[in-house]
Amino acid sequence: MVDVAREAGVALRTVSRVVNGDSTVGPGLAARVHAAIAALDYRPDERARQLRSGVTGTLGAAVRQLSHVNPVLRAVERAARDAGLMVLAASTEDDEELERRVVESMCRRRFDGIILEPIGTDHGYLIPELAAGLSLVAVDRPVLGLDVDCVLSDNVAGIQAAYSHLAERGHRRIAYIGDDERIYTAQERATAFRACAAASGRAVDSMAHTGPIERGRIRAAIAAVLDGDSPASAIITGNATISVEVLRELGAAAGKVAVIGFDDSELATLLRPDLTVIAQDDRTIGGTAVDMLRARIAEPDRPVRRVTVPVELVARGSGEIPPAW
């Protein structure tokens, strides 16, 4: 910048004014400065600008896997863009240690705020950051043990809707195959399922199968649920990946048993019959997360809010298969 000033024969401050489009600089000087900028390949340094001016205009997004389908992240990017903010994202890979490194790195860069899909149970490292003024909104799962803004889907209502949908169509034996219950959403959905089953007076244990997503486990769960003297006539799955694996294992039998999947996906309309799903409102979740983050940035001491976004049951066929008597 000092070189540009010398080249243009003006003061340092005038170069800054030109770069920032300050109107108090005459057109002649501005042209000289622009010429000097082009001649010297001058690039302004955002870090120095932020350091001096104090504004960053940047949001961080720490999500499980950047390279996976993540409609919430898409909504976050869109909402942030509409608000004139830039989003820089990184993956946490479902690794607590990596999550910590990513978030701390974003803090050191003084991002205005962070949207986090939290993993694991120990978020103690956040305490000093929050004390030092970090604005944070958790998405999809709460930050356990810490009073932090968050936006969640209504998992319980989703499972209830699926269960009722099936029960109303005459299903008496409804099974649930879900993800590892160490994951918050998986635990919440499985618990909701067990409550539904218990409320309708049925044996719970034989119908709820949860654990890590492995082909062998899914196959065993399906076998346990469909074989035997009183087989299930309907299956609710715990998330999109489980849905894929269950449908893969069911194969030709997919038309014989009712299936409702948690999470919508492009697969849902590829299969025959199309998959009935409990769809999360990703647009609303992402948009709300950005709104809440901006509100917290503007007013750090505002009360913590926990927002639950409704889900929607989308009937497409697989959930409307009647029980085989």
Q: Shortest CA distance to 237 belongs to which of 272, 274, 208? A: 208
Q: Among a second copy, DNA, none, what does residue 21 contact (CB within 5–8 Å per kind)?
A: none
Q: Among DNA, a second copy, none, what does residue 67 contact (CB within 5–8 Å per kind)?
A: a second copy
Kindly indicate which of the ranges 37-45, 75-83, 87-95, 170-178 contains the residues binding DNA, using the contact rule CB under 7 A.
37-45
Edge-to-edge strands, sheet with 276-279: 208-210, 174-178, 234-237, 258-262, 276-279, 312-314
Q: Among a second copy, DNA, none, what does residue 200 contact (CB within 5–8 Å per kind)?
A: none
- DSSP for residue 18: H
CA torsion angle 134 115 157 322 (round to 10): -160
**Taking the CA of residue 262 as centre, how many other CA atoms within 13 Å lie in the half-sphere pointing to its CB?**
27
Distances in Å between the Cα of 255 and the Cα atoms of 219, 231, 237, 259 are: 17, 15, 16, 9
Are 319 and 285 in contact, with CB atoms under 8 Å apart?
no
Kindly indicate which of the ranges 5-13, 141-149, 221-229, 287-295 contains the residues binding DNA, using the contact rule CB under 7 A.
5-13
Nearer to DNA, 40 or 195 (CB): 40
Burial class (CB in 10 A: 0-12, 13-18, 19+), 76: buried
Q: Write the Ramachandran bin of 133: left for phi over 0, alpha for psi from -120 to 50, otherwise beta.
A: left
CB of 45 to a second copy, least distance (A): 6
Binding flag, residue 48, DNA (CB under 7 A): yes
Q: Among DNA, a second copy, none, what does residue 131 contact (CB within 5–8 Å per kind)?
A: a second copy
Kindly indicate which of the ranges 4-12, 89-97, 155-163, 251-259 contains the residues binding DNA, using the contact rule CB under 7 A.
4-12
Chain residues that interact with a second copy, rule: CB under 8 A: 38, 41-51, 65-74, 77, 86-91, 102, 105, 107-110, 128-129, 131-132, 244, 247-248, 251-252, 266-267, 269-272
Binding flag, residue 125, DNA (CB under 7 A): no
Binding flag, residue 45, DNA (CB under 7 A): yes
DSSP code string of 218-248: HHHHHHHHHSSSS--SEEEESSHHHHHHHHH
Looking at this protein, which amino acid is placed at residue 314? V
Binding flag, residue 6, DNA (CB under 7 A): no
H/E run at residue 29: helix 27-40
Kindly indicate which of the ranges 2-10, 170-178, 214-222, 242-250 contains the residues binding DNA, using the contact rule CB under 7 A.
2-10
Nearer to a second copy, 50 or 187 (CB): 50
For residue 2, give both structure tokens.
């000092």
How far is the C-alpha of 146 from the C-alpha of 164, rounded, in Å? 34
Kindly indicate which of the ranges 19-27, 56-64, 178-186, 236-244 contains the residues binding DNA, using the contact rule CB under 7 A.
19-27
What letters, b where the CB count within 10 A reaches 16 and e where it falls short, cover 97-132? eebbebbeebbeeebbbbbbbbbbeebeebeebbee
Nearer to DNA, 29 or 220 (CB): 29
- Identify the residue among 7, 40, 49, 157 touching DNA (CB under 7 A): 49
Binding flag, residue 67, DNA (CB under 7 A): no
Binding flag, residue 21, DNA (CB under 7 A): no
Binding flag, residue 101, DNA (CB under 7 A): no
Interface with DNA by CB under 7 A: which residues? Answer: 1-2, 9-14, 16, 19-20, 23-26, 28-29, 42-45, 48-49, 51-53
